[in-house]
Amino acid sequence: MSRSVPLERFQPATLSRLRSDLPFRSAWWGMLRARPGIPVTLHSNFVDGLPSEFVPCWEAVKHEDELAAKVLAAPGIAASVETKELRHNNNLLVMVERFGIGSATSIAVVDPGLGVFTFLSLYRGPDAAPFDGGDRCLQEIVMPHLAAAWHANWLYHLEGMRAGWERPRDGLGVTDRHGMLHVRDPAFSDLMRSEWPRWNGSALPVALQDSISRGGKYDGRQLSIEASRQHDLTVLRVRPRSVLDRLSPREAEIATWYREGLSYKQIAARLACSPYTVRHHLRAIYDKLGVSNKAALVRLTDKRLMS
């Protein structure tokens, strides 16, 4: 499935497959960081069969979540709880009853390189049999493979994205809401250091993270970086900037057609304008790029395509 299912479908498809062997009504799968003396920080999360307000509600009571504390203290070991066992914890009890949770089983595995946990919590309704030792055992067997397959899914599809590119030097990476990088290729790291020489590779620079949070594209001195959301994660495509980045989208379009051999009239027909307008755009293109003829424009464009 890590090779056959798209990034945005991998988690729901995997949970659907798991449900046939380990029945549950709803689930929560994601990544978090837990450090002594610092509140747990969610880096990514995907909920299945739960409303969007589930996560904000948990954030309000996370300091009281004994199940989370137990699994984070013992990575790789599943733990379970029934709602009736939470009578002493009123805030958490109110939350689980609101979302129809009768019992839960949870597990977390740690990535020592990043210092984050990948967790999976499964939930059953009040009328269903609670999770037992057999369920926890199966969850312990399966969880390391789920985490590894999720990671492999990113890598496989990043390579798939790269396959059809004209610019092989472009880099790809996957980051979370807090700017932590989970997957990146060698080209990504090399390009990032051309813009930020002291970048250590563990988290995004603040300027880039700010651009992503605003939903915009980052254009720096050396790099142009585009971001696309995939559920709660973001795929970054990094490419070197060139002099052609000085052109407007319309100018870049005209320059591309002109280098491919289209005449003024043919370009004008595509743009529904006059050949004179195309000629005017080409003069502006020459001025911006510091060239004086078509041959120089083609050479400059060819350099960009090879970079």
Q: Is residue 151 part of a domain?
A: yes
Model pLDDT for residues 68-119, shown as the tens digit of each residue: 999 999 999 999 999 989 878 788 999 999 999 999 999 999 988 788 999 9
- Asked whether residue 295 carries a pLDDT value surpassing 50, the answer given is yes
Q: What is the pLDDT of residue 229?
A: 83
Model pLDDT for residues 28-76, shown as the tens digit of each residue: 999 999 888 788 999 999 999 999 999 999 999 999 999 999 999 999 9
Number of domains in the chain: 3
Of 240, 265, 285, the domain-final residue? 240
Model pLDDT for residues 190-200, shown as the tens digit of each residue: 999 999 999 98
Q: What is the pLDDT of residue 167?
A: 62
Of 122, 156, 190, the domain-final residue? 156
Largest separation between any pair of C-alpha atoms in the chain:
80
Which residues make Cβ contacts (< 8 Å) with residue 232, sequence separation at least 6? 30, 44, 45, 46, 176, 177
Q: Rounded to two decimals, what is the model's pTM?
A: 0.74
214 vs 145, residue with greater confidence:
145
Residues 26 and 135 grouped into a single domain: yes
- Asked whether residue 11 carries a pLDDT value surpassing 70, the answer given is yes
- DSSP label of 136: H
Read off the CATH number of the domain in which 287 is found.
1.10.10.10
Q: Alpha-carbon distance 232 to 172, whole Å?
A: 17
Closest residue by Cα to residue 288 from 279, 275, 277, 297: 297
- Give how far Cα 2 sits from Cα of 92, 110, 138, 140, 236, Å: 35, 20, 20, 20, 20
Model pLDDT for residues 228-264, shown as the tens digit of each residue: 887 778 889 998 877 666 778 888 888 888 888 899 8
Q: What is the DSSP string of 255-295?
A: HHHHHTT--HHHHHHHHTS-HHHHHHHHHHHHHHHT--SHH
Model pLDDT for residues 172-183, shown as the tens digit of each residue: 888 988 899 888
- Give how far Cα 95 sits from Cα of 48, 57, 103, 273, 282, Å: 17, 7, 13, 62, 63
The confidence band for 164, taking pLDDT boundaries of 50, 70 and 90, is low
Residue type, 1: M
Residues 135 and 188 grouped into a single domain: no
The confidence band for 168, taking pLDDT boundaries of 50, 70 and 90, is low
Mean per-residue pLDDT, 111-128: 92
- Asked whether residue 227 carries a pLDDT value surpassing 50, the answer given is yes
- Asked whether residue 306 carries a pLDDT value surpassing 70, the answer given is no
Cβ-contact 26, 50 below 8 angstroms: yes
Q: Which residue has the tokens 């798991």?
A: 18
Looking at the chain, which runs of residues are DSSP E strands? 26-35, 38-48, 79-82, 103-111, 116-124, 171-175, 181-184, 218-219, 223-230, 233-240
Q: Is residue 2 part of a domain?
A: no
16 vs 157, residue with greater confidence:
16
Read off the CATH number of the domain in which 87 is found.
3.30.450.80
- Asked whether residue 305 carries a pLDDT value surpassing 50, the answer given is no
- Asked whether residue 301 carries a pLDDT value surpassing 70, the answer given is no
Helix (H, G, I), strand (E, B) or coil at 245: helix
Q: Which domain holds residue 199?
A: 165-240
Closest residue by Cα to residue 104 from 65, 76, 141: 65
Which residues make Cβ contacts (< 8 Å) with residue 276, sequence separation at least 6? none
